Structure 1
Amino acid sequence: MLPDCLSTEGERRCRRLLAGATARLRARPAAAAVLVPLCVVRGAPALLYTLRSSRLAGRHKGDVSFPGGKCDPADQDVVHTALRETREELGLAVPEEHVWGVLQPVYDQRKVTVVPVLASVGPLDLQSLRPNAEEVEDVFALPLDHLLQTRNQGYTHFCQGGRFSYTLPVFLHGPHRVWGLTAVITEFTLQLLAPGAYQPYLARPKLPNG
């Protein structure tokens, strides 16, 4: 059964569990930060995702991601980076007090540090968002109930030099496949929000060079 992670007690529990990491990581230098928007769509708790524009430069164009991007020198910390990027990409202004905390950082193949920031954005009408067409091709939400069903979960095994190297989770059967670091962040989020309902295949995915 899906726990009531959006209740006052659920929020308190998550904030308490994230407090240590938030204090330790919030002001630590990082290359990028993303917002993990916990929202309510048609009465159901969900996570909000974007599909990056295929016109963007770089390796991650056309990928599913959470709103976010590179840390700017003018940003106070990673929380402000995540909130600023979300506003720029989606036209969604999230008050800082809605931030629950900082999740475990993830690292790409070049060891670039990406810090996920969890925030509750409340009831959300996707049609009300104003995505920046230069950066975002699509916006969609996946209900927690969908993400927690084992039939929608998978894993991809990667090889380097002809040998098994690492495994990453994949979330299937939504509008777009959620994979890569976004899937890892999704897994971390589900472990926090629904520890009894989510049973990852691996206790913790082994990240490339991580």
Structure 2
Amino acid sequence: MFPARHLLCQTVPVTPIRSLGPVRRYLSWENEQRCRGLLKESANKYKQDAVSAAVLVPLCSVAGDPALLYTLRSSTLTGLHKGDVSFPGGRRDDSDRDVIATALRETQEELGLHPREDCVWGIMQTVPDKTKKTVTPVVANLGPLEHLSLKPNPQEVEDVFTLSISHLLQEKNQGYTHFCKKGVYSYTLPVFLHGPYRVWGLTAIFTELALELLAPGKYRRRTRVLGNR
């Protein structure tokens, strides 16, 4: 499905941001530096937290257009999230140095990729899952999809797909679900529609955080999740 090439994170010639199309600016060198700066504070705050799990939020480009890379978890897995759309990730291991190590290790185990730590832009806000365990999203740019050699682990991953940033930013592809407890409004979760699969739950929250980071002013957050810090 994908050409067998190796993933490399290396310095590329800087293209002036004004010469790029509006969509391609999201992965420009200038935008990367801006995002790294914004994430530096949260990295210091969350990197050493005793979190339960971490996921990689993989940025990439498809035919030059910025996108997010998603997986569909195998329906044969046990647990609450089998068959769900997700980002690569999982529980933190005692041998992991920090949450970045957890996210990179899980990406290697699930997708056969070996992204280096210099691909990582930073750490976003830690969010509690349904069981109140904390999950930390780690943002990294994997580069052009055409240059990646993906080898999904069939025991964990049923499918791999991408959604472009331009698709995710269109309001027609955005939805929201309001939740009530005992008839009283409790919280709202985002849903992203009209792709190969519906993106919802924690993965949609992390997608929303990524859109806010990459495209300030282009995406309006309308969720309210209790327990967020």
TM-score interval, smaller chain: over 0.9
Measured against aligned partners, the alpha-carbon deviations of 1:104-135 in whole angstroms (never above 9, x if no partner) come to 01111221100000001100139831100000
- Is 1:134 aligned to residue 118 of structure 2? no
- Is 1:207 aligned to residue 228 of structure 2? no
Is the contact made by 1:14 and 1:192 (CA closer than 8 Å) also made in structure 2? yes
Identity of aligned residues (%): 59
CA distance in 2, matches of 1:69, 1:158: 26
Instruction: Please give the TM-score of this superposition, normalised by the length of structure 1.
Output: 0.94
Count of residue correspondences: 207
Q: Give the drift of 1:98.
A: 0.7
CA distance in 2, matches of 1:150, 1:95: 34
Look up the match of 1:161. 182
Q: Mapping of 1:1-210 within 5 angstroms?
A: 1-2=22-23, 4-125=25-146, 128-200=149-221, 202=222, 205-208=223-226, 210=228
Is the contact made by 1:108 and 1:208 (CA closer than 8 Å) also made in structure 2? no
CA distance in 1, matches of 2:120, 2:227: 30
CA distance in 2, matches of 1:63, 1:147: 18
Measured against aligned partners, the alpha-carbon deviations of 1:143-197 in whole angstroms (never above 9, x if no partner) come to 0000000100010111223332211000000000000010011000000000021
Is the contact made by 1:158 and 1:166 (CA closer than 8 Å) also made in structure 2? yes
Q: Give the drift of 1:209.
A: 5.0
CA distance in 2, matches of 1:196, 1:163: 31
**In structure 2, what residue type is equivalent to 1:153?**
Q
CA distance in 2, matches of 1:125, 1:131: 16
Q: Give the drift of 1:27.
A: 1.5
**In structure 1, what residue type is equivalent to 2:224?**
K
Instruction: Please give the TM-score of this superposition, normalised by the length of structure 2.
Output: 0.87
Distance of aligned partners of 1:173 and 1:100 in 2 relative to their CA distance in 1, 3 Å threshold:
same
After TM superposition, the structure 1 stretch with the greater mean CA deviation from structure 2, 156-165 or 25-34, is 156-165
**Root mean square deviation, CA, Å:** 1.5
User: Secondary structure at 1:80's aligned position in 2?
Assistant: helix
Structure 2 gap ranges (5+): 1-21
User: Secondary structure at 1:101's aligned position in 2?
Assistant: strand
CA distance in 1, matches of 2:194, 2:122: 29
CA distance in 1, matches of 2:139, 2:23: 19
CA distance in 1, matches of 2:217, 2:185: 30
